Amino acid sequence: MLLQNKNAIIYGAGGSLGRAVATALAGAGARVFLTGRNLSSVQRTADEILAYGGKVEVAQVDAMDEKAINSHIDRVIHAAGTVDISFNAVGVDVKQGIPLVDLAMDDYVGPVTLTMQTRFLTAAAAGKAMMKQGSGVIISLTATPGGIGYPFTGGFAAACCAVESFSRNLASELGPYGIRVVNIRSGGSPDSSVFKEAIDRDPVLMDTVLRKMEGDTMLKKLPLMADIANTAVFLASDMAGKITGVTVDVTCGTTAGLNYRMPPIAG
């Protein structure tokens, strides 16, 4: 197994993408420490992992709270000895679909502040622990607006850019300690809870939105949560041992250039 004897902390493990990554890491052999503010949703993730014999522990942690994060990571080190992987999937509410000129300042700045607060606190805590042991991988997640101009994405786009910049800079500082820092840029997974809820609310509109998003890609499809989770497993493993300081693009080619002029091939 790629992640045998590795210990991974997942923040926001109760959400659909956090659950996908957590189960993939556990399936690859990692011992996963799942956290979230809503313990019931995190426990559902744990139950899925336990069902196939995975190694998992659950804790209620507010990933916006520095004291709670540090206290939890200390408990993980006491129980497992090391923290080898840190992944933050904590979601932040964002107003989208509104022109930037019509967006209230707080609605633009708020998502950036909250996103960077949790990413900074969890990555800094992991980085300090990993510096002592001389190894580790810190993984973050952004989306298409982090790499290309995408209209009506509000403060989400700026938050993605901030996370990617932070990831690069952190990698440059932690690299000499044997720590890798990498980011995954997703194109938006239609099987995630965010998209499923939107589809349930307005299936006609979302059909148009998803077709437009697929049309912007080079592969004429969108990455599923499993694609993101499999990428996280690879990046956390020794197979990616020389990859750091970069964003790995899993947008089906969207951020390499909007490809709407190339129609899908029939059949």
Report residue 184's pLDDT band, with 50, 70 and 90 as the boundaries: very high
pTM of the model as a whole: 0.93
Which stretches of the chain are DSSP H helices? 16-27, 39-51, 66-80, 105-133, 154-174, 193-201, 203-216, 225-236
User: What is the arithmetic mean of pLDDT over 114-136?
Assistant: 98
Domains in the chain and their CATH numbers?
A: 7-256 (3.40.50.720)
Q: For the chain, what percentages of helix, strand and coil (3-state, to nearest 5) are there?
A: 50, 15, 30
Read off the pLDDT of residues 85-121 as tens digits, 9 standing for 90 and up. 999 999 999 999 899 999 999 999 999 999 999 999 9
Q: Give SS3 for 133.
A: helix
Read off the pLDDT of residues 191-224 as tens digits, 9 standing for 90 and up. 988 888 888 899 898 899 899 888 888 899 999 9
Q: Among residues 181, 145, 174, 177, which one has the least CA distance to residue 161? A: 145
